[in-house]
């Protein structure tokens, strides 16, 4: 997994996804993951949850795929870009989630 961001917490999100991968988790697990949060600092759904939601929507056919590379020129710097792969490694999914 690769993640890029200019705000604190990017490394924590990589840790969450890394643990999910070690436990043979799927993007469906990321979508439903219960992560700690504090209302004054963030929302109940983390960027990891949103990345899982986007990946699940693509896999279910609910949303067409458009790679972040094609929209990167107009993305604000406050966004993180997640590059997710299926467990078979045959399909790259991109999710842009605000952190």
In this structure, what is the dihedral angle of CA atoms 90, 96, 98, 99, given to the nearest 10 degrees?
A: 30
Residue scoring higher pLDDT (2 or 30): 30
Domain tally, the chain: 1
pLDDT of residue 40: 80
Report yes or no on whether pTM surpasses 0.85: no
Q: How far apart are CA 16 and CA 79, in angstroms?
A: 18
Residue 20: which CATH number?
3.30.390
Domain that holds residue 79: 2-98
21-59 pLDDT, tens digit per residue, is 999 999 999 999 998 888 887 778 888 999 899 889 989
Mean pLDDT along residues 4-26: 86
- The phi-psi region of residue 58 (left if phi > 0; otherwise alpha if psi is between -120 and 50; otherwise beta) is alpha
Q: How confident is the model at residue 71 (pLDDT cuts 50, 70, 90)?
A: low
């Amino acid at each position: 997994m690769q993640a890029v961001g200019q705000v604190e917490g990017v490394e924590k999100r990589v840790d969450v996804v890394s643990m999910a991968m070690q436990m043979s988790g799927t993007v469906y697990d990321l979508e439903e993951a219960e992560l700690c949060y504090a209302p004054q600092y963030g929302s109940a759904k983390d960027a990891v949850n949103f990345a899982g939601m986007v990946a699940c929507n693509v896999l279910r056919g609910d949303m067409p795929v458009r790679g972040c590379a094609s929209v990167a020129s107009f993305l604000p710097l406050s966004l993180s870009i997640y590059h997710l792969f299926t467990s078979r490694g045959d399909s790259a999914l991109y999710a842009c989630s605000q952190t």
